[in-house]
Structure 1
């Protein structure tokens, strides 16, 4: 065993350093579900900047020092406060914001979000089949992004008003009626934030023919920035 360790020490050191890099500096995150449609698709692999908000002790959620403030509209990866599962959602409300939703429409600090129709589509829901979707452009202050509604599904389309506690964030999926987000798991403490998703590194149609979607390679998640 000792001979094997000595022979492979360079490779083992590389693996250790690579692991530290992935858990402290930069990472990639496969998208396994439809909760961020239409902006992220199953089979996308996104680049995550782990230094966007915090420097952490590698392999832990212990924050050494904050590096930046999450902004409304950021797409972030984080550990679920319910079960620790890694999730990816969009920051909708910041600490101290007063948030409410009525019939899918958000209002933050008394200001209604703006909505502009983008069109219709279909989405296949396992066990249900193809359902019609409604896509709109949602504007929250300076942040704009597409969101999708599935009117035929049961979902939490109304809540609040509630005030986001200090040091916590409200996360919602862009696929509003098919996302397990802060409406179900609660607010997300800053210490559980992993990083800011920046762009799609690679993509393949894992729900269809598994062919690469080369048009998505390198795609920015913030095309309006």
Structure 2
């Protein structure tokens, strides 16, 4: 065993450094669901900056230093406060904000979101099943993003008002009628934030022909 360790110490050191970087500095996450459509698609692999908000002891949620503040509109990965599942959503509510939804319309601190550039689309739910969709640009509280609404889906379209406690954030998926987010799992404590998603590293059409989607490679997440 000693000889094996000696002969392979370079490779073992590489694995140790690789593991440290992935658990403490930067990570990449394959996306299995469509909860962030149209911003992020199934089969995208996103780059996540784990040092965007906190430096943490690897493999724990213990922060040893605050490095930055989450911003409204950030796309982030986090551990679900419900069951620990890793999720990726968008921050729409910051600590102290009052968040509400009325018939799918988002309100932040009493300000009603404005929806522009509304266009029809189609959402594939699996196999050959598809439903009509509407995509629009949502503007509220100084941030904007493209969201998708599925009129025929029975989603939770009314919520709150809820005032967010200190160090807790309200998350929504951009695909509003097909996302398990803070409407269902509650606000997300800062300690459960993993990092900010910056870019799509690569992408493949995992719901269709599995071919690469070169046009999405290295694109920034807005």
Report the TM-score, using the length of structure 1 for normalisation: 0.96
Identify the residue that residue 178 of structure 2 maps to in structure 1.
178
Counterpart CA distance in 2 for 1:90 and 1:114 is 17
- Given the alignment of the two structures, is residue 87 of structure 1 paired with residue 91 of structure 2, yes or no? no
Confirm whether residue 191 of structure 1 aligns to residue 191 of structure 2. yes
Whole-angstrom CA distance in 1 between matches of 2:83 and 2:116:
36
Residue 207 of structure 1 aligns to a residue whose secondary structure is coil
How much does 1:126 deviate?
A: 3.2
CA apart distance, 1:128:
8.6
Q: Which portions of structure 1, spanning 4 or more consecutive aligned residues, are displaced by more than 4 angstroms?
A: none
Q: Does the residue aligned with 2:122 lie in a helix, a strand or coil? A: strand
Equivalence for 2:43: 43
Report the Cα offset of residue 165 of structure 1: 1.0
1:38 CA drift (Å): 0.5
The one-character-per-residue Cα deviations of 1:182-210 (angstroms, maximum 9, x if unpaired) are: 01111100000000000111001111111
Give the Å deviation of 1:142. 2.3
Q: 1:28 touches 1:47 (CA, 8 Å); kept in 2?
A: yes
- Compute the displacement of 1:113 (Å): 1.0
What is residue 74 of structure 2 aligned with on the other side? 74
Runs of 5+ in structure 2 lacking a partner? none
Deviation at 1:26, TM superposition (A): 0.8
> How far, CA to CA, are the matches of 1:153 and 1:112 in structure 2?
23
Report the aligned-residue RMSD.
Answer: 1.1
Count of residues in Structure 1 that have an aligned counterpart in Structure 2: 222
Q: Is 1:20–1:59's contact at 8 Å kept on the other side of the alignment? A: no
| Paired position in structure 1 for 2:64 | 64
1: distance between equivalents of 2:25 and 2:138?
Answer: 31
**What's 1:11 paired with?**
11
Q: Secondary structure at the match of 1:221?
A: coil
Unaligned runs of 5+ in 1: none
2:114 pairs with 1:108: no
- Could you tell me how far apart the structure 1 residues matched to 2:51 and 2:96 are? 24
